[in-house]
Each structure stands twice: as C-alpha cells, then as structure tokens.
Chains A and B, each alone.
Chain A
Amino acid sequence: MTEMISTYKLSKQYDGVYRVKDLNLKVYEGDIYGFLGPNGAGKSTALKMLLGLVKPTDGGVNMFGKEFGANRLFILKNTGSLIESPSYYGHLSGLENMRVMQRLLNVPNRNVDEALRIVRLESHKGKKVSQYSLGMKQRLGIAMALMGFPKLLILDEPTNGLDPAGIQEIRELIQSLPQRFGMTVLISSHLLSEIDQIATKVGIINNGELIFQNSMDALRAQSKRTVALRTQNISEAKSILQKYRFTPVHQDDYLIFEDMPDEQIATINQLLVTSGIGVTRIEERRKKLEDIFLELTGKVSSL
C-alpha cells in the first residue's frame, strides 16, 4: 500500500513544553484515518505541521512519498484541508469565496459547482457568508477543501457546529470519498463515536504523544469480554471458587471473571448453588470503546 502521510519523530515545542512529541503517523492510500484525542491533545498542531502552517521543532513529514520542505507546492496542490474553524471572506458570497479558492487552485468551473452540490450549498451560494450559520460556514469550508478533488483530504473536526442531520450527511460524504473520488481522508475529532463510525484506521494522541495507531478492528479487539457474577455472599463465594482454582476479582459486589466458555460458567453456578450460596445474577460484560479510549488517554473530563 502506498504511504500518503508518514511522519517521523514529529515534535513541536512551545515555551519549552512539547505540544506534539515524537509523532510517527502513518496514513495509507484509501484510508479514512481517524485522528482521535481529547481537547488540547495536540491534534490541530500536528495537522498544521502536516500542512506547513507550523514549523516542527524536530522530526519531519513525508507526504505522497516526498519530503515536505522540498516539495511543499506539489504536496499542497494534492491536498485539501480544513483546519480548526472554517476560513472565509465574510463580505463575499459563498460562490465568490469559492471563486477565490478556484483562482488559487486553478480548477475549472465545474469543480466549484460540484463541490457546492456535494455539501448542499447551491441554494445559498449567492448569500453573504457573514450571514451563514456556523454549520453553513463549515460546509463551505469542506466545499473549499474538496474543490480541487485532491488525493488527500485533511479535515480538523469537520462536524463542529453541524446539527445531527448535517453530521450524518458529512459522515456519509466522508465515507464515500475513497470510493467515489479515490481520496484518502485524515479526519481529527475528539469524539470517539464519530471516528468509530467512519474511520478504517485510528490514531489516538494524548498529551502530544501517539499512544495507539492501528485499524479500528484492532481497537475494538481490545474490548475483551468479562463475566460478572453476583451472589448472596460474595466473600464466601470467592473463597469457595478459589479452592477450585478460579481466580475471580471482587469488584462492586460482583465477582469478575475473564471471558470463559459457557460450560465453565455452568460449573461455577453449580458449585455455588450446591454450597448453599444463591446466585442472583450472571452478566456478560464488554468494555465499550469509550472505556478503552478513556483508559488509553486517562481523561474523563474533556469528553
């Protein structure tokens, strides 16, 4: 598979503090790469470094197999982006904003029409952008990023400010991009649910460091099943089961077991009942992705 983005030990320091540290990002052709992290984790700084908006303190960026510094114009010509809040000229209409971008990218008129159609802004294209809602501005930003139909699209929290229907539309749009236009998408978000639904690959950044990078399936595989058992006498039940070489963990009035076959669960139940301990509940539990994310990032409050 072709590497679209590859960073090596990419770092950025502000006032002696690392905002991004030793980031080794790998995005392959056709990926929808979810770049996930709590607020302030360093996502935007990292994306800005990919686009040359911020100069790395250390490390480097390769895109399309070329070193960024020496091939900046080539790389940017093939990359569409929307970083942080959408950029726009408020005194111009949506269409005029698109025309500005069209002249910068030197693309034909049909690209403008197509991009406006994709984000469903055609009916509002004559309106001044200062009169747009936040969601419409966000759509305009996405249209501007899409206009050149680039090989790589970098979107920083693109669903900010959109209503649920808008979020769904953008999500479907992003999912369709690799197949419809052969694009590779790098999308950042602090919402795991968003990334979970659209990404094929995920990178999790926390305090500037990449703490997980793999496919979504690999992340989901971390959510191991457990079996929770509640009895009328937990401590008695635990000591009985330990005699039979079971190693449950006592947690919140439950005995927790690693995933086990049905036969073993039946055995445990039988042992406890014959010992005169009533079993009140047997539950199968699966760690949610949110729990894995929180475990990895160690953050609760920002989500």
Chain B
Amino acid sequence: MGYAALEFYKIRHKKIFLMIVFLLCIELFWAFMSGSISLSRDPDAVSWEVIITIIAQMNGLFLPILTAVIVSRICDMEHKGNTWKMLMAASVKREQIYAAKYICACSLILFVIVLQLVAIVVFCQSKSLTSPIPWELLVQTAMGTLVTSMAVIALQQWISLAVPNQAFALCLGMLGGFIGITASLFPGMVRHFFIWSYYNELSPIVMKYINSSVVYVTQGLSFPFVGGLLLFSVLLYAVGNFYICRKEV
C-alpha cells in the first residue's frame, strides 16, 4: 500500500480530481436531463431502475474515456521525465510499481463510482420518487461498473506504459467509449468480446421492449459474467505486468 500512496503523491498538482469531477458532471448532467425529461412526460413511468439504466448506458460512453485519461495521467509522467529507469534502478520490485499504479487507478475509478451513486440517490430523492432507496440494486450496479473498469484499467495501463505516445492510449479509450455506447446494438456473441460492453451488460437491470413499450426488468448481477470478466482482468493485468516489467529501459 505504501507504493500506492506514493502514486497518489506523484499525481498531486496534476488536477486529476478536478478533471474527474468535470467529466462526471457532464455525464450526470446528461443522464439526469434525460431522466428529468422522462419524468416530465410521465411521472409514474420513472423509477430508480430507469435512472440506474440511463447511468449504466452513459457509463459505456464516459467511463472508457475517463479511465483512459486517468491511467494515461498516472503513466505518462514516467515517460515524460524518464523516471521509469530511476524507479527500476531503485531497490523496488518492478511488479510493486506496476501494482501500485493499478491500485491507484482502481481507487480513482471507485471514487467516480461512489460519486455516481451519491448523485443518483440525491437526484432521485430530489424528484421525490416514492419507492425506498434500492441499496441492493445500487451496490450491484457499482460492482458491475467496478469489475468492468478493472478490466479496462488493466488494458489501458499496459498500453499507456508500453507506448510512450499517449495519443494511442487515449484513442483506444475513445474507441472503447464508442463500443461501450453502441454495444447493445451488436449481437450478443459479438458484444461479449468487447470489455467496454460490460458497463451495460453487467447492469442489474435490463431494458426490454414488450408490445412497443419499454419495460425495465431487474435481473440482478450476472455472476458468470462477473467471474469471467474478473478472470479476463487478471489475464490482461498479468500479460501487461509481464511485458512491462521485463521491458528493457
């Protein structure tokens, strides 16, 4: 944990928190505007499930980009100042530095997820939704988002450390955002191959069209998908870690 704290120390003055809040505000503004419009059209049709689903869909677009930016900021400083060789020549295991960066990025994304949950609760309470706060659904949503983010972070960290030009990693993030928002349009077999599609895929609520009307069905967290994605995260992390830690400086 000491090295993870060091990563937080290193990103001071980089205004990462400001950037996170800014991007999150855009996402939430968009999501809550959409929720407010639905609410004004038909107040009875809007529920916690609708807001959670909108947020999960928006996450597909915003979180890959936000993740790419966060990871890039954490990794880019090592390229810019030639510090990777300084770290490698210190009496530290390379794997520890790699893990510290991963923990730092995951913590920041967890912070984003917590902020989202708080915003959802505040928004729904302010709109006087009658049903009580669905804590279970909110926790499942957070878990699904976090597990998906863990895989995306593992991929982004590998790319950001392997390729000094961060435009490459940021382009990958934008591509992920595009896939994340459009994934539900792909056939199931196809979208399951893209990690960014799981922001929506792991949402505990599924949106279905029945008799030309939209119905929100609570299905809970799909544990086989969660397990599979966690395994894939471990694989991505292990490959990235292996590649970066053995790379000559």
Interface residues of A (CB under 8 A from B): 48, 51-55, 73-74, 76-77, 79, 81, 83-92, 96, 99-101, 103-105, 129, 144
Contact = CB atoms under 8 A, between A and B. Distances in A.
A103 B2 contact: yes
A191 B151 CA distance: 50
B91 A76 contact: yes
A86 B88 CA distance: 14
Nearest to A77: B91
A89 B14 CA distance: 11
B90 A83 contact: no
Interface stretch (B28-36, B76-84, B172-180, B225-233): B76-84
Interface stretch (B4-12, B51-59, B118-126, B207-215): B4-12
A41 B80 CA distance: 26
Contact of B82 (A73, A84, A104): A84
B25 interface: no
A48 B84 CA distance: 13
A19 to B, nearest CB: 12
B95 to A, nearest CB: 12
18 contacts: A51-B89, A54-B248, A55-B248, A76-B90, A76-B91, A79-B89, A83-B85, A88-B81, A88-B82, A88-B83, A89-B83, A90-B80, A91-B13, A92-B10, A92-B12, A103-B6, A104-B6, A104-B87
A104 B90 contact: yes
Interface of B: 2, 6, 9-10, 12-14, 77, 80-83, 85-93, 248-249
Given A83-B85, A91-B14, A99-B9, A104 B80 contact: no
Contacts of A86: 82
Given A48-B85, A88-B82, A105-B90, 8 more contacts: A81-B89, A88-B81, A89-B81, A91-B77, A92-B13, A100-B10, A103-B6, A104-B91
A52 B94 CA distance: 11
Nearest to A78: B91
Contacts of A55: 248
Closest CB pairs A-B (n = 4): A87-B86, A77-B91, A76-B91, A53-B249
Contacts of A87: 81-83, 85-86
B10 A53 contact: no
A53 B248 contact: yes
A86 B90 CA distance: 14
Given A92-B12, A100-B10, A73 B91 contact: yes
A89 B77 contact: yes
B140 to A, nearest CB: 38
A38 to B, nearest CB: 23
Nearest to A73: B91
B91 to A, nearest CB: 4
Contacts of A144: 86
Contacts of B10: 89, 92, 100
A84 B81 CA distance: 12
Contact of B9 (A84, A90, A100): A100
Contact of A54 (B12, B81, B90, B249): B249
A53 B89 contact: yes
Contacts of A101: 86, 90
